[in-house]
Amino acid sequence: MLRSKLPDLGITIFTRMTQLAQETGAINLSQGFPDFAPPAALLEAAARHLRDGQNQYAPMIGIAPLREQVARQIARRHGRQLDSQHEVTIVPGATEALFCAIQALVQPGDEVILLDPSYDSYAPAVHLAGGRCVHVPLQQPDFSIDWQRLQEAFSPRTRLLVINSPHNPSGALITRADLDRLAALLRDTHALLLSDEVYEHLIYDGAQHASVLAHDELYPRALVVSSFGKTYHVTGWKTGYVAAPPTLTAELRKVHQFVSFCGVTPLQHALADFMAAHPEHLDELPHFYQAKRDLFCQLIGPSPLRHVPTPGTYFQLADYRAIRDDLDDVAMAEWLTREAGVAAIPISVFYREPPKGLRLVRFCFAKQDQTLQQAAERLCAL
């Protein structure tokens, strides 16, 4: 009677691991969200706008002050002047934006290239659009692009390439040289680019974010997606933006208006106020998270886990071979949750075909120092 459109999917690994952490009382370093408070001024602005009556529908494309703040920030950081009316759209979360972009651009039978490990929302969105995913694995151990395989993955049916930098789950960064190479690869194709840059501000050791927004050849064929949730410690606000040229923005909005219509009004006002009043937040953010990364890596140093400090995102991969080489990473994530009392995410779930012998789990270090200390103590006791 019922034919599922997504027959292979159950609940996501993030829901599963968070549930298991709650059941077992484990410290939850699995799902990516902070366990500390967002900036007080941001919370106060949200409360003020709720009280002052910003409680009805926002414009479909997002409130003007927030679109203008986004355009201003992009001009400052990437040197591109966007028309905030026609090139910036405020969305209820990056996930909604990725979904709408894929529905808007992918026709039945089109191919979409995903670089594995890839964020888990891309492939189901492609399937629902009637498209076919072509999975190209990133290279081990540094999760760099395998240019030969990427080139071979293109066909006349390729409609879209999805990239993600800083990269979840590895933390790897796409460089400006990579973008140049990508531009050369796309030059003679009809493919568009969907660039997931939700961790755009979480980059460490003085490295710069190589955004598609800064690339003159790529931007005209791209949609760039970001999330205020990651930047302002408010993942539960599910508010993000898409920057894209007017023709692509128009197509995105055709779908967005019938998926959610608009984002949450008072939160958009709060973010616009905070961005205007506190530009220093973005300058401080990399230092704030780099300190957490360094603390976590230093604390787990004596444990049997092996890790290379992550260059971006708030995720840290760790090789657990020295503890339980007999367990695959899904079993190991569960074992760590039950036995060590620390929940992690297995990274094989981000692959269509995980590499053989993958022995990596992902920890989220967007946590209070005290949480990181407690988790590390447990991991060091293994």
Ligand X SMILES: Cc1ncc(COP(=O)(O)O)c(C=O)c1O
Rounded to a whole number of angstroms, the distance between the first and last alpha carbons of the chain is 50
Minimum separation from the CB atom of position 283 to ligand X (A): 22
Give, as one character, the DSSP assignment of residue 355.
P
95 binds ligand X (CB under 6 A): yes
Task: Please choose, from the candidates 168, 176, 65, 162, the residue with its C-alpha nearest in 3D space to the C-alpha of residue 106.
Answer: 162
Minimum separation from the CB atom of position 152 to ligand X (A): 25
CA 314 vs CA 129, 261, 300, 363, 380: distances in Å: 31, 30, 16, 8, 21
Whose Cβ is closer to ligand X: residue 200's or residue 334's?
Answer: 200
x/- binding map, residues 138-167, to ligand X, per CB under 6 A?
Answer: --------------------------x---
Distance CA 309, CA 296 (A): 9
Whose Cβ is closer to ligand X: residue 54's or residue 168's?
Answer: 168
Pairing type for strands 222-227 and 345-346 reads unpaired
x/- binding map, residues 178-217, to ligand X, per CB under 6 A?
Answer: ------------------x-x-------------------
What H or E segment, with its residue span, contains residue 361? strand 360-364
- Please list every residue from 225 through 254 that binds ligand X, using CB under 6 A: 227, 229, 235, 238, 240
Q: How many residues bind ligand X (CB under 6 A)?
A: 14
268 binds ligand X (CB under 6 A): no
Among 16, 18, 28, 32, binds ligand X (CB under 6 A): 32
171 binds ligand X (CB under 6 A): no
Task: Report phi then psi at 243, rounded to 5.
Answer: -115, 125
Placement of tokens 């840059």 in the chain? 197
Minimum separation from the CB atom of position 169 to ligand X (A): 8
119 binds ligand X (CB under 6 A): yes
Q: What is the CA radius of gyration of the chain?
A: 20
Burial (CB < 10 A; 0-12, 13-18, 19+), residue 111, is buried
- For residue 184, what are the contacts with CB-CB under 8 A and spacing of at least 6? none
34 binds ligand X (CB under 6 A): no
Helix (H, G, I), strand (E, B) or coil at 270: helix
94 binds ligand X (CB under 6 A): yes
Whose Cβ is closer to ligand X: residue 19's or residue 189's?
Answer: 19
> Which residue ranges make up the site for ligand X (CB under 6 A)?
32, 93-95, 119, 164, 168, 196, 198, 227, 229, 235, 238, 240
